[in-house]
Amino acid sequence: MLIRTDLFQDLDRLTNQLWGSLAKPSTIPLDAYKEGDHYVVEFDLPGVDPESIDITIEKNLLSVHAVRPYVERDNAGFIASERSFGSFTRQLFLSDNLDTDNIEADYTNGVLKVRIPVAEKAKPRKVRITTGKKEPAALSA
What residues form DSSP beta bridges with 56?
63
Q: What is the pLDDT of residue 12?
A: 60
Q: What is the pLDDT of residue 76?
A: 79
Q: What is the pLDDT of residue 55?
A: 97
What does the pLDDT look like over 41-53, one tens digit per residue? 999 999 899 999 9
Return phi, psi of residue 107, to 5°.
-120, 110
Task: Give the C-alpha distances (Å, rounded to integers) separating 9 from 12, 26, 29, 96, 122.
Answer: 5, 9, 11, 23, 29
Q: Is the pTM of this model over 0.85?
A: no
What residues form DSSP beta bridges with 38?
35, 117
Q: Does domain 2-71+80-122 have CATH number 2.60.40.790?
A: yes
What does the pLDDT look like over 113-126, one tens digit per residue? 999 999 988 778 88
Greater model confidence, 137 or 34: 34
